[in-house]
A = this chain, B = another copy of it.
Amino acid sequence: MKHYYEASYGSRDYEELLLQETIFHNANGYIGVRGCLEEGLPPGCDTIRGSYINGFYDFAKMSQAEKLCGLVEEKQTMVNVADTQTILLKVDGEACRLEEGEVLEGARVLDMDKGITLRRFRYETPQGKQVQVEIRRMASFALLSLFTIEYRVKPLNFDGIVEFVSVHEGKVENYSNPNDPRVAGERMVHLRQESCGVRDNVSYIVSSAVHSGLGVCTATAHKMTPALDQEQEWVEETSVKKQFSVFLRAGQTAVLEKYTVFADSIRSQNCWQTAEEEMGRALSCPLSEWYEKQEAYLKDFWENSALEIAGDEELSRAVDYNLYQLLQSVSKDAYGNIAAKGLSGEGYEGHYFWDTEMYIQPFFVLTNPKLSRNLIAYRYEILEEARKNARILGHKKGALYPWRTIMGRECSGYFPSGSAQYHINGDIAYATVAYYLATGDLEFMAEKGAEILYETARLWLDVGNYYNGTFQIHTVTGPDEYTCLVDNNYFTNVNAQYNLHWAVKIYRLLKEAGMEEKAVARTGLLPEELRAFEEAETHMYLPYDEKLGINPQDDSFLSKKMWDLEHTNKEEFPLLLHYHPMYLYRYQVCKQADTVLAHFIFEDAQSMETIRNSFLYYEKVTTHDSSLSTCIYSIVASRLGMKEKAYEYFGDSAKLDLFNTHKNTKDGIHTANMGGTYMGIVYGFAGLRLKEQGLSLAPYLPEKWESYRFCFFYQGSQIQVEVDREGTRLTLKKGAPVTVFLFEKEYIVT
């Protein structure tokens, strides 16, 4: 089955083209280039023209309206590092631009087997000259620094001169729009150009981020077929332009290959030198060879990661798309992570959230444990910053991870729905444990995981307090941002309980293996702390309402007014754009799954009866204004046997970006939701669970489907799951036999 997505566009589809910048962006986890037109949009049209490096940031001032102790006044922001995608085309002296002539049969393709995007169109100039154009772009998985553009032009009805002007521009800015409260309102200069020049036919621009001081070097080189009649070059202060002119007869094709490499000072000592070396590698073989490597990489990816669905073409394509984006977004080293928008746009400023741990890690844990480990290693790298963050928040011990960050420092401007989400600590602990459960990698726990678990567990002891014999957690915010600074948020409490439990458990596992010393020495963990963890775990207060038979979202949730969702105008969603936060806080209304998420993640904490009651209760007051919501509702609906509902929610989740249902995909993809799509099938339809007690599955086939199939890794083995009308078939694809509970019955897959 081909992994493929295609869309069309025409000369006047400016809004669609803005959206396509996201949809057809090229990324490999290190670099991301938005799918802008090489020639640009007509002046005045909105475009977000950017190239980004995972983990590369500048600092920016974030003034608080009132200064209060400890409020964050500086954030990190992902920087648009250079423009290397500009190539201007002239046909016999006429510029090929949307606003000049006419685009005929414009099409854009994302080929997820080849790992490239393709733009294909016929263009007619005002004078009636037609050319056929094909532009392939690739962010290479084999050489992470490399981005390529292959630009092919063929005159159709004339003989004449085809001219390319290829631009390498260092002076770029991040996107700003004073009319949109969700992106930066003011223009900010984040880069200072340090040098710009050409050596051995390669242009180099070195810039540094104004406030962080981080350096970046971009280099471009070209290969042209046929051999050139004319080639000119302009080196300016912050840019290099190169002109290629060639005379073609009708039917002949000119091909310009443009190679860009990126290097940054986070990962290399001298980024100019690194760029030079990487460019040497890039040019050492023909482009076709890079294409082959790309295809091989993706073959491997799909073999391990595909969710093959038969019976719903549209959904299937959306699922493919989502998984591919996760691969494009995930950092391949521990200097970066997965931004809320991946490397596809500037929404949320390139920040990493809990999205990684609770929504995306499940995919990598099961399909690529090495990348999963990287993501935890990143959290380990920023543990020291998390300790500092805890001190800023007043805590004398432990670590509190930042709610949103790039390099480890908190970037939340509004703490009630930012830093107050202490569950981030539990989320990271949860993902660390999940990695351990899936891999049995005790060595990594000894080296990094245990320290994360101890320090996050410690914090809960300093946050919570005993009252009436129970351990309570006050004044925090749960996942649902429509009620903030609440007491005993059910999700948070059960998540803290799990964190405390596993801090002790990992300590014991390491001790049994004689590997406990390193993490204990590094954290100064005391035996009485372990006892205190257990004590708090045992006495953790989990609010429960006898009358409704549900877990209240928090202590006061059920005594609030009900929001009348039925009679709310469609234009008023998302509510957060139309109501003052305090007004929302006063209602029983949820932006997203909160208690219902707890019922998925920590399903053993409650009876099925309670989970069902909760689901039905919260469903009525949830707006799904967050993109992190429907996938969770789908999974829990599956668990409760509400198959139709599960399928509907799953569809909403799967199609979010490709169908732009949240109307903001132009700012970037929603990576958490994409991970949620994966979970919707694997945890939802297939009922997979990874627990202390082992691996279990309880698959069912959605009514509309004929079958689905996927593979996953478990403790070094790889298992294939096939579900069709006949039932479920498990196959051991690699490694030693594995014990699996299928519908609560124990099997050994051999």
What is the interface of chain A, defined by CB distance below 8 A to chain B? Answer: 62-73, 181-182, 185, 392-395, 412-416, 418-420, 463, 465, 467-468, 472, 474-475, 484-485, 487, 555-556, 559-561, 576-586
Contacts and interface: CB of A to CB of B under 8 A. Distances in A.
A282 B303 CA distance: 94
22 contacts: A63-B63, A64-B414, A66-B414, A66-B418, A67-B181, A67-B185, A68-B581, A69-B576, A69-B577, A70-B580, A394-B580, A394-B583, A395-B583, A416-B416, A420-B582, A463-B586, A467-B560, A474-B559, A474-B586, A475-B585, A487-B556, A487-B559
B465 A582 contact: no
A66 B394 contact: no
Contacts of A582: 393-394, 415, 419-420, 475, 485
Q: Which of A412, A475, A485 has the most CB of B within 10 A?
A: A475
B487 A484 contact: no
A415 to B, nearest CB: 6
B69 A465 contact: no
Contacts of A412: 66
Contacts of A472: 559
A560 B393 CA distance: 17
A64 B71 CA distance: 12
A66 B413 contact: yes
A90 to B, nearest CB: 43
Contacts of A414: 64-66, 68
Nearest to A585: B475
Q: Which of A62, A66, A419 has the most CB of B within 10 A?
A: A66
A564 to B, nearest CB: 12
A413 B463 contact: no
A583 B67 contact: no
Q: Which of A182, A556, A576 has the most CB of B within 10 A?
A: A556
Contacts of A394: 579-580, 582-584
A580 B64 CA distance: 14
Given A465-B560, A487-B559, A559-B487, A69 B474 contact: no
Given A68-B414, A415-B582, A474-B586, 9 more contacts: A63-B65, A65-B413, A67-B181, A67-B185, A69-B576, A393-B583, A415-B580, A485-B582, A555-B555
A431 to B, nearest CB: 25
Given A392-B580, A474-B556, A580-B392, A585 B66 contact: no
List the 5 closest A-B pairs by CB distance, nearest first: A65-B413, A394-B583, A70-B580, A66-B413, A66-B414
Contacts of A416: 416, 485
Contacts of A475: 582, 585-586
Contacts of A578: 69
A521 B585 CA distance: 34
B69 A580 contact: yes
A429 to B, nearest CB: 21
Nearest to A579: B394
A581 B413 contact: no
Given A475-B582, A556-B487, A586-B474, A65 B62 contact: yes
Contacts of A64: 64-65, 413-414
A556 B559 contact: no
A581 B69 contact: yes
A425 to B, nearest CB: 15
A191 to B, nearest CB: 23
A100 to B, nearest CB: 38
A577 B394 CA distance: 12
Q: Which of A66, A465, A472, A582 has the most CB of B within 10 A?
A: A582
B485 A485 contact: yes
A68 B481 CA distance: 12
A318 to B, nearest CB: 31
A181 B63 CA distance: 12
A393 B584 CA distance: 10
A437 to B, nearest CB: 33
A392 B472 CA distance: 35
Contacts of A392: 580
Contact of A579 (B69, B182, B418): B69
A71 B586 CA distance: 16
Contact of A576 (B68, B73, B419, B560): B68
Contact of A485 (B418, B465, B484): B484
